[in-house]
Amino acid sequence: MNSHPFFTIVMPTFNRADRIVKGIESVLSQTFEDFELVIVDDGSTDSTKQVVEGFKDPRIRYFFKENGERSLARNFGINNSNGKYINFLDSDDCQNPNHLQTAFRSLQEVSFPEALTTGFEIVREEDNSVILRIESFHNINAELINENGLTLNCIFVRKDVFSQDLMFIPNRKAVLSEDWCLLLRIAARFKIHSVNTVTCVAFEHESRSLNRLNSKTVESAIILVLENLEQDSIFMKYYSKSYNRFKSKQFCFIALHHVLEGNRSIAMRYGVNAYKAHPPILFSRNFLAVFKKILTPL
């Protein structure tokens, strides 16, 4: 095994013994072979360790740590990586065989920049139908503040970027939009290059962690993201014209989750905060939908 591979794929996992095999096999099937796979077991209580140990490829490095949620697990993986570029893979998703080869060629063509993304698909697991396919990009840096149209599975970041105080939010409550937060901070500093080729697949299924978040968890996670971004002066300067609209949309998102759980007073408070942050949101479809639910009699 090369002690200094070109790529490190960081795979955080928690109790995914029943799903992780497909992801590992997809990495080991890459046509570009100069990589290491750093699996960070975030305190699993199932047979994840035994499943991983069933693979005898020396490029796999397994670490077990106390549970701290995925931001801390990814930071742990970054800190224990040896690659020139870091890529991420959720343990229930897959890379296509051309994933690393496509990224390497594209990075080489643009003189090995700080960050690059490839395209991806989101597939419904139950019937293997494509829900979303993203394979073309425009001005990623400018548009990222409006919507996170990227996935960490297809992001490649040069390792030295992480030494510039750019890591995932080091808090176990950072379980939503923590990837978007980091990508925005990177985009405020460096051009994110792209290649219009689909190279990985994210699977939509009922047991995805994002499908099990309650309103309080969503609220805590989004507030952490906003606090993290507001402490970054470079980010705030770069996105100064767009930040209030972004913040307003996040408050509206929190309000929606609260109203769906019947927490109308909290939803109302965040709706008002959304309006104060960016008054034009009053005319947006999402804002109107939230207030319609707040005002609808039980």
Three-state secondary structure call for residue 45: coil
The pLDDT of residue 1 is: 64
Question: Which parts of the chain fold into alpha helices (H)?
Answer: 20-28, 48-53, 70-79, 99-109, 140-143, 178-187, 215-230, 233-238, 243-260, 264-277, 285-295
Given a cut of 90, whether residue 2 has pLDDT beyond it is no
Q: Which residues contact 40 (CB under 8 A, 6 or more apart)?
A: 10, 11, 12, 13, 63, 65, 73, 74, 76, 77, 80
Q: Quick one: tokens of 117? A: 């993304």
The pLDDT tens digits of the residues spanning 58-95 come to 999 999 999 999 999 999 999 999 999 999 999 999 99
Separation CA 215–CA 9 (nearest Å): 32
The pLDDT tens digits of the residues spanning 217-276 come to 999 999 999 999 999 999 999 999 999 999 999 999 999 999 989 899 999 999 999 999
Q: Which is nearest to 84 in space by CA: 61, 53, 101, 107? A: 107
How many other C-beta atoms can be found within 10 angstroms of the C-beta atom of residue 170? 11
* Mean pLDDT value across residues 184-195: 97
Residue 228 to residues 41, 161, 221: CA-CA distances in angstroms? 26, 17, 11
Q: Which residues contact 111 (CB under 8 A, 6 or more apart)?
A: none
The pLDDT tens digits of the residues spanning 30-59 come to 999 999 999 999 999 999 999 999 999 999
Sort 73 into a burial class: Cβ within 10 Å, 0-12 / 13-18 / 19+.
buried
How many other C-beta atoms can be found within 10 angstroms of the C-beta atom of residue 160? 9
Q: Please, what is the average pLDDT of the chain?
A: 94
The pLDDT of residue 211 is: 64
Distance of alpha carbon 79 from the chain centroid: 18
Query: 209 falls in which pLDDT band (50, 70, 90)?
Result: low
